[in-house]
Structure 1
Amino acid sequence: MDMSIIQPEWKIEKIEIATLTGERARSAGSNGRIGDHGKSCSVRIARITIDGETGFGSTGLLTESMAEAVVGMRLADLFDQNGKVLEPYRIPLEYPILDWLGRRQNAPVYKLIADSNRVSPLVVPCYDTSLYFDDLHLQNDRDAVALMKEEAAQGMSKGHRNFKIKVGRGGRHMPLWEGTKRDIAIIHGIAEVAGPEGRIMIDANNAYNLNLTKEVLAAAADVNLYWIEEAFHEDDALYADLKAWLRERGQSVHIADGEGLASPHLVNWAKNGLVDVLQYDIIYPGFTHWLELGAQLDQMGLRSAPHCYGNAYGIYALGHIAAAIRNFEFVEYDDITIQGMDASAYRVENGLFHVPDKAGFGLDFDEELFAGQVLANGWSR
């Protein structure tokens, strides 16, 4: 980012924290690791005031003592000479800071971080990430497939064409082979809904092992399967085996990983050709981290697909970071409505996420509702 847009007199005047609540369009069931995710969602938001104007953004790890230390600092001192937010302030404050800068410049964040001639208008591929284990109460696979196909059809009606399917039912919630057979049947059912142009991703949340992964991939060879995500806990020997097996079969399925407590060796394994798509979270380690990592991955011809599930603010941040990463894959879209956060300027259409040419991160916040939530569940410094 061009540091010349930051005036030396701009100082942090106030930081307020509040938790805003909302819900998904449809309750989300289990995945290969944990039980029902439910319908309720929340997002922790910071409102930052600089030069009498405000910006809003998701925040994590921001303590009251850190806020006290930051208030009064020059905005310019939170950045390095290359226009990147300094490490100590990234996860706590990068989103409200970047939103504020966008609002002050009357420009979307994506135009602050990337070549605007290349990205305007900004339209990014996306996928529906809502297909969880919503079928566990059903006794037979036919009914389970019918239910999951109906959920995929709901996504189609909302503009989606690409889908990520949670798999790994046999890892915890069903007997091993019965759960695996159901995974396979549901993959085929949702592929029917998506059609030949729709891309299908599957995510096992580490519930498979190497041989189960091969069984599922072999059974889904006739599906437009784009990647398998978190098939098993990251292991370079197992990934090397899986890569060789896929090459021998001529099956072009990408290996994706990086969510959660990922191995610290994952980026190096990707550099060595064992992993194709990196998926660290857009909130932790965050936006600025992804600006740096995405540039490295682009140089190596690797793909970036930042993870975002459960944080409604992160969905929209993904659209902006896409402008700065050449090999960006998809916005992970979780249909969430947060009270007091208006995202109506964004839209999903024909499998594409349309990012508005609107100041900051393009989200409007109900100032009065936010102030009430600061008093109810937050704090101010």
Structure 2
Amino acid sequence: MNITGIQSDWKVEKIEFTKLTGERARSAGANGRIGIHGKSCAVDIARITIDGQTGYGSSIHMTPEWAEVIIGQRLLDLFDDRGRLSEAYRLQLEYPILDWLGHRQGKPVYDLVSGAHMEKGVPLVVPCYDTSLYFDDLHVPDEKAAVALMQEEAMQGYAKGQRHFKIKVGRGGRHMPLWEGTKRDIAVVRGISEVAGPTGKIMIDANNAYNLNLTKEVLAALADVNLYWLEEAFHEDEALYEDLKEWLRQRGQNVLIADGEGLASPHLIEWATRGRVDVLQYDIIWPGFTHWMELGEKLDAHGLRSAPHCYGNAYGIYVSGHLSAAVRNFEFVEYDEITIEGMDVSGYRIDNGEIHIPETPGFGIMFDDELVTNLIKRSGWSLKSR
């Protein structure tokens, strides 16, 4: 993305902020770290007005005091000399500004940021996976019945077009006795792999509930499953990942190592460039889209893979697909089915394990202006130039 076409007289006229609420298609259970996630979800949304036109987007760390300083500034001055939004404004405004730019230029955001690997004029279709398979079986004492329950949840996703699945594991880390929980992890992964079939990719995510030896036990037991990556097996540790990588190599077991969600080690990228980690998973909302474009360039240069984390944020699900146009080795959109009141994502479509990104301007997410305006008046805030 560059600043070509941004006119010097375009100024920020208004910034408004509110929270939109909604819920998941199905209540989400526990994971290896914490308890039930539930069904309710919320998205913090900013609406920005520049030159009489609005743009919408996710916004974090936004306050009226911060926005007061931005009101009246030229849009051009918010960008750096590389043509990217300056870091000081990203968390609060990058998504509404990118959406605004797309609308002003009549282009989807992916068209604004696309790299040399993208074929122009071709609809954007990106692999995705169902990330909704949490510990929804802890109340079921019988392992066979628990597997059947989790298979039914995977089949719900399959019926909606999903073909690839990420499965939470690590039941023995907190919620069940160690070996009983680990045995169930293995049984559930096997059961869901049957739903996915031979072409479906399976990812497992332990949320750091395993240690190295337990990880090896699980991977050995799943050697005949189409396991694509192992995510957050344990807290990032170069020595342990080096050991695990060598163990996998000696066995000829091709499972990728993925990490980077949450409070990731500041050394993780360095370790990845040394071959300890294959897939990086920083969040799509924080540190955000522009950061990911910059990180993706670096990862691409080292042959590493990008798979932004965006669980629990209904906005992040959809914008992450646009990032694939800027990052060559983009792996998957992490998909968690959520309906947010006032946020229309019907332009997006899941089919055969892929998400089809709309060609409409901006991020292709339509907001109910009237509802958002009422929420701003009732529980949000609005600031405009005097």
Task: Tell me if structure 1 keeps the 8 A contact 2:170–2:181.
Answer: yes
Residue 136 of structure 2 is aligned to residue 107 of structure 1: no
- What's the counterpart of residue 190 of structure 2? 188
Runs of 4+ displaced beyond 4 Å: none
Which secondary structure does the structure 2 equivalent of 1:110 belong to? helix
- What's the counterpart of residue 6 of structure 1? 6
Which secondary structure does the structure 2 equivalent of 1:5 belong to? coil
Q: Offset at 1:360? A: 0.2
Q: CA–CA distance in 1 between the matches of 2:237 and 2:382?
A: 44
Q: Offset at 1:63? A: 1.6
Bigger shift: residues 9-18 or 75-84: 75-84
- What's the counterpart of residue 142 of structure 1? 144
- What's the counterpart of residue 365 of structure 1? 367
Which secondary structure does the structure 1 equivalent of 2:265 belong to? coil
Task: Tell me if structure 2 keeps the 8 A contact 1:57–1:96.
Answer: yes
Q: CA–CA distance in 1 between the matches of 2:237 and 2:379?
A: 42
- What's the counterpart of residue 171 of structure 1? 173
Residue 91 of structure 2 is aligned to residue 85 of structure 1: no
1:193 maps to amino acid: V
Q: CA–CA distance in 2 between the matches of 1:120 and 1:84?
A: 24
Q: Offset at 1:240? A: 0.5
Task: Tell me if structure 2 keeps the 8 A contact 1:295–1:325.
Answer: yes
Q: Offset at 1:136? A: 0.2
Counterpart pick for 2:213 among 211, 214, 218: 211
Task: Tell me if structure 1 keeps the 8 A contact 2:257–2:278.
Answer: yes
- What's the counterpart of residue 243 of structure 1? 245
Counterpart pick for 2:328 among 316, 326, 329: 326
Residue 299 of structure 2 is aligned to residue 283 of structure 1: no
Instruction: Structure 1: state its 5+ residue gaps.
Output: none
1:207 maps to amino acid: A
Q: CA–CA distance in 2 between the matches of 1:190 and 1:118?
A: 37
Residue 94 of structure 2 is aligned to residue 94 of structure 1: yes
Aligned-pair RMSD on alpha carbons?
0.8
Instruction: Structure 2: state its 5+ residue gaps.
Output: none
Residues 134-187 of structure 1: CA deviation (Å, up to 9, x unaligned): 000000110000000000000000000000000000000000000000000000
Q: CA–CA distance in 2 between the matches of 1:114 and 1:54?
A: 23
Q: CA–CA distance in 2 between the matches of 1:265 and 1:325?
A: 21
- What's the counterpart of residue 50 of structure 2? 50
- What's the counterpart of residue 302 of structure 2? 300
Task: Tell me if structure 2 keeps the 8 A contact 1:119–1:323.
Answer: no
Q: Offset at 1:3? A: 1.3
Q: CA–CA distance in 1 between the matches of 2:152 and 2:241?
A: 34
1:185 maps to amino acid: A
Q: Offset at 1:118? A: 4.3
Which secondary structure does the structure 2 equivalent of 1:65 belong to? helix
Which secondary structure does the structure 2 equivalent of 1:97 belong to? helix
Which secondary structure does the structure 2 equivalent of 1:148 belong to? helix
Q: CA–CA distance in 2 between the matches of 1:74 and 1:353?
A: 36
Q: Offset at 1:2? A: 2.9
Residues 59-104 of structure 1: CA deviation (Å, up to 9, x unaligned): 0011211100000000011111222110100111100000000011
Residues 310-363 of structure 1: CA deviation (Å, up to 9, x unaligned): 111101111100111100000000000000000000000000110010100001
- What's the counterpart of residue 65 of structure 2? 65
Q: Offset at 1:188? A: 0.2
Q: Offset at 1:191? A: 0.1
Task: Tell me if structure 1 keeps the 8 A contact 2:2–2:84.
Answer: no
Q: CA–CA distance in 2 between the matches of 1:313 and 1:13?
A: 24
Equivalent residue runs for 1:13-28 within 5 Å: 13-28=13-28
Q: Offset at 1:296? A: 0.5
- What's the counterpart of residue 313 of structure 2? 311
Which secondary structure does the structure 2 equivalent of 1:128 belong to? strand
* Length-normalised TM-score, structure 1: 0.99
Q: Offset at 1:14? A: 0.4
Which secondary structure does the structure 1 equivalent of 2:228 belong to? strand
Q: CA–CA distance in 2 between the matches of 1:5 and 1:58?
A: 24
Q: Offset at 1:119? A: 6.8
Q: Offset at 1:117? A: 3.2
1:290 to 1:136, Cα distance in 2 relative to 1, 3 A? same
2:206 maps to amino acid: A
Task: Tell me if structure 2 keeps the 8 A contact 1:61–1:91.
Answer: yes
1:55 maps to amino acid: G
Q: CA–CA distance in 1 between the matches of 2:180 and 2:78?
A: 54
- What's the counterpart of residue 133 of structure 2? 131
Q: CA–CA distance in 2 between the matches of 1:352 and 1:117?
A: 18
Which secondary structure does the structure 2 equivalent of 1:263 belong to? coil
